[in-house]
Amino acid sequence: MAIGMIRTTTAITREVVPIVSANKTQSRANVLAVYKEMQRYAPELYREFHLEDMPLSVFRAALKKQYTDNAHLTDFRVIDRKIAECRRMFAELGKSACCTCKFHRVFLESAKRRFCTNPKRLQSQQTSVDGSDVKTFAKLSPDWTKEDGPFKALYSMNRLRLPLIVDTIGRKSEQGHDPLLGLHIADIGCGGGILTFPLARLGAHVQAVDASADVIASVKEAENCFRHENRGSGKATFKCSSVEDFATKNAGKFDAVVASEIIEHVADVELFVESCIQLVRKNGALFFTTINKTIASRVMAIWIAERILGIVPPGIHNWSKFIEPKFLRMILEENGCSVRLLHGMIYNPLTNNWSWSRNMLMNYALVAIKN
């Protein structure tokens, strides 16, 4: 009987190759290492399985849950076995770029059931454009050039945006003017050129892009006036295009990309940000301003700003599409960028003034550099 027990124990030991030693510290270290490796694979799995219907952050949370569900395990041999299974899966994924394995089918079907509100979107998504938002802004086309109209808060925001851009990429000159002289800047989601024209007046060559043909058409007259009246060296041109199509034709051509107050209106944040990164050259800068996803932003940006004070047109914002700074940072860092600045902004609707703040519960600005 004793001999039989020894043989059984030996068999188990051979079947489960020890990965961790018999102490909690080493066990936790190895589990953490595998967890980090899984999270490192997350963007690749996310794209490979076409899970665009859910945010990457939700997908990461789902992976994390697989680990927390096993937090009760204390038997080192069981932990070893699960770690070994994970590492075998990593090896299989590395061998098969097309992911035709059983894991692909099982995981994809599971993801469809758990996360996807519209499984058809799992097939492929080539654009981050949100058609409903494009229609909303198209209806507001006549108001883009009115500084005291529905977009007056954006005009006022230039008092923060312009100095931020100039301080980051501007060139000092003895004359003290045209600090953006000769720099090529892409203004993504440009709308009516509220930021485009001021950048051009500072000497930049600005290529403004918007997905709405109606919005671009509405700004053509202003573009022509600027072309005839501007005596400086700056230029402003407008184009109707998705950022993805524009990036395909203009990869690495810009010294800076500005995506101000647009990321909260796109259908696929990760695809949008990746396209912005594609546009900028190495060591170029990316500027984002957007709204944080907090209870405060739901109350202030939607209930109060839209429904009570009427600062912005009703229905222009969707709280579910707001993005937390940590997730925007994560996307940038995963795509080879370094975040250099992350700062809060506060708007006073009574005075129509913006100011910098350490508080990021509402609006924030982020500056990143492409490595």
pLDDT digits (tens, 9 = 90+) for 248-262: 999 999 999 999 999
Q: Of the residues 122, 143, 167, which one is the last residue of a structural domain? A: 122
Mean pLDDT of 234-242: 93
The per-residue pLDDT for 252 is: 96
42 with 156, same domain? no
User: Is 284 marked as a binding-site residue?
Assistant: no
- Nearest by Cα to 314 from 302, 327, 330: 302
Confidence of residue 87 (pLDDT cuts 50, 70, 90): low
Same domain, 114 and 175: no
Which of 73, 101, 122 is a domain's end point? 122
Which has more confidence, 42 or 298? 298
Q: Which tokens go with 27?
A: 């066990």
More confident position, 243 or 35: 243
Last residue of a domain, one of 90, 122, 154: 122
Over 70: is that where the pLDDT of 213 sits? Answer: yes
More confident: 72 or 268: 268
Q: Domain of 198: which CATH number?
A: 3.40.50.150
Does residue 118 sit in the same domain as residue 174? no
Q: Write down the pLDDT at residue 356.
A: 96
Q: Residue 22's pLDDT band (boundaries 50, 70, 90)?
A: low
Do 21 and 82 lie in one domain? The reply is yes
- 142 and 37 inside one domain: no
Distance CA 109, CA 113 (A): 6
**pLDDT exceeds 60 at position 94:** no
**84-114 residues labelled b (16+ CB within 10 A) or e (exposed):** eebeeeeeebeeeeebeeeebeebbeebeee
161 annotated as a binding-site residue: yes
Evaluate if residue 17 carries a pLDDT over 50. no
Q: Is 87 annotated as a binding residue?
A: no
Neighbours of 254 (CB within 10 A): 26
Q: Is residue 329 marked as binding?
A: no
In a shared domain, residues 362 and 243: yes
Looking at the fold, whether 135 and 212 belong to one and the same domain comes out as yes
Looking at the structure, tell me whether residues 196 and 328 fall in a common domain.
Answer: yes
219 shares a domain with 365? yes
Residue owning tokens 């967890």: 35
Q: Would you place residue 297 in the very low, low, confident or very high pLDDT band (cuts 50, 70, 90)?
A: confident
Domain boundaries, position 66: 2-122
- Statement: the pTM of the whole predicted model exceeds 0.75: no
**Which is more confident, 218 or 272?**
272
Host H or E run for residue 236: strand 235-240
Total structural domains in the chain? 2
Q: Average per-residue pLDDT in the chain? A: 78
Q: Are residues 196 and 312 in the same domain?
A: yes
Contact predicate 203/180, CB 8 Å: yes
**Per-residue pLDDT band at 140 (split at 50, 70, 90):** confident
Q: How confident is the model at residue 4 (pLDDT cuts 50, 70, 90)?
A: very low
119 pLDDT more than 80: no
Q: Are residues 226 and 253 in the same domain?
A: yes
Q: What is the mean pLDDT of residues 155-184?
A: 88
Q: Is 44 annotated as a binding residue?
A: no
Same domain, 147 and 97: no
pLDDT digits (tens, 9 = 90+) for 55-83: 677 667 766 766 666 666 666 666 767 66
